[in-house]
């Protein structure tokens, strides 16, 4: 059996040198990103056997993505598109305060938007302990949304634990579209991850995070709801039990992928048989460490995650 299977699009991120705006950049560092891919990389680095599913162009760029994932210990299950199909790309200016980060996306009509679940290795999903996907993937196209629904149903029928990260983005869909689409998927979801601000935007929930998590869990019948705040702290409600983790202070070199490292850290610990409180501590530690590293898909150092998580436990 496989510990974790994730499904989503890969983006080739071309990052300008720190301190150089995109308009002035004469060179870019290339790396692979994508929320589900990032989560799989983080979980793999923490000891989980992870597989990432996607649709890629059968081109040097598509093969580069597979090589990137495999180099970080993640196995791949890919439906190959034509050699002339496009890989999603993004140009990134890492920025610094007060200028901030800038990302220019070029992903319309990418190969992934025509993904079909029937062309993916469904047996891996059925044999997995956990299956993970995000709202970003469901928002990419009607075919992608249909594939998400099909894969979640396949996983649920096989008693694979299903996890969904809301990851609402205004550029992808409206609040109403996001709520309607997600509510159609939620009957197949066991564990929901969301930023507190995302939960407020999509569900109209405001107030105390614990009350919001309880309300969402009750409304949709989730086993677990995990909400994260902008400062890196988090709260989880599982079977009406509440668990909290404080933010871990530190320098932010690149926040890209840190939310995904949070998910990867949480799932890796749950896969290893640990409880919600311990998993939440590992998640916040992985998130904090990911912020100290350049790039989206980061293999956070397991020994340091364990040390920071132990400190979280001492504070509970």
Other beta carbons within 10 Å of 90: 17
Sign for the pseudo-dihedral over CA of 255, 259, 262, 264: negative
CB 265 within 8 A of CB 50: no
Q: Are 278 and 244 in contact (CB under 8 A)?
A: no
Distance between CA atoms of residues 160 and 131, nearest Å? 7
Active-site residue, selected from the candidate residues 93, 260, 278, 299 = 260
State yes or no: is 260 an active-site residue: yes
CA dihedral of 171, 174, 180, 182, whole degrees rounded to 10: 30
CB 143 within 8 A of CB 114: yes
Could you count the other beta carbons within 10 Å of the beta carbon of residue 218? 12
Give the Cβ contact number of residue 24 at 10 Å.
10
Do residues 191 and 131 make contact, with C-beta atoms less than 8 angstroms apart?
Answer: no
Query: What's the token pair of residue 147?
Result: 């594939």
Residue by residue, what is the 3-state secondary structure of 232-261? CCEEEEECCEEEEECCCCCCCCCCCCHHHH
The β-bridge relationship of strands 50-57 and 75-81 is: parallel
Which of 288, 212, 314, 316 has its CA nearest to residue 304?
288
Neighbours of 205 (CB within 10 A): 19
> Known catalytic residues?
260
């Amino acid at each position: 059996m496989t510990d974790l299977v994730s499904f989503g699009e890969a983006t080739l991120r071309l990052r300008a040198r720190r301190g150089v705006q995109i308009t002035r950049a004469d060179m870019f560092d290339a790396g692979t990103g994508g929320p589900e891919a990032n989560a799989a990389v983080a979980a793999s680095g923490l000891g989980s056997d992870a597989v990432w599913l996607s649709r890629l162009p059968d081109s040097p760029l598509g093969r580069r993505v597979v090589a990137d994932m495999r180099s970080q210990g993640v196995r791949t299950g890919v439906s190959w598109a034509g050699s002339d199909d496009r890989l999603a790309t993004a140009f990134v200016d890492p920025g610094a305060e007060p200028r901030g980060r800038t990302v220019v996306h070029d992903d319309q009509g990418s190969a992934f938007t025509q993904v079909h679940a029937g062309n993916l290795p469904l047996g891996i999903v059925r044999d997995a302990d956990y299956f993970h996907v995000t709202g970003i993937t469901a928002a990419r196209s009607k075919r992608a949304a249909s594939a998400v629904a099909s894969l979640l149903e396949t996983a649920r029928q096989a008693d694979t634990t299903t996890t969904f990260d809301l990851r609402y983005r205004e550029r992808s869909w409206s609040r109403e579209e996001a709520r309607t689409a997600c509510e159609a998927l939620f009957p197949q979801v066991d564990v929901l991850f969301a930023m507190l601000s995302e939960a407020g935007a999509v569900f109209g929930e405001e107030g105390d995070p614990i009350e919001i998590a309880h309300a969402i869990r009750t409304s949709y019948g989730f086993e677990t709801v995990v909400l994260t705040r902008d400062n890196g702290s988090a709260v989880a409600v599982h079977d009406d039990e509440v668990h909290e983790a404080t933010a871990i202070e530190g320098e932010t070199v690149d926040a890209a992928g840190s939310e995904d490292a949070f998910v990867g850290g949480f799932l890796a610990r749950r896969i290893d048989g640990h409880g919600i409180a311990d998993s939440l501590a590992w998640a916040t530690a992985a998130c904090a460490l990911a912020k100290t590293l350049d790039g989206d898909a980061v293999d956070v150092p397991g020994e340091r995650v364990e040390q920071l998580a132990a400190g979280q436990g001492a504070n509970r």
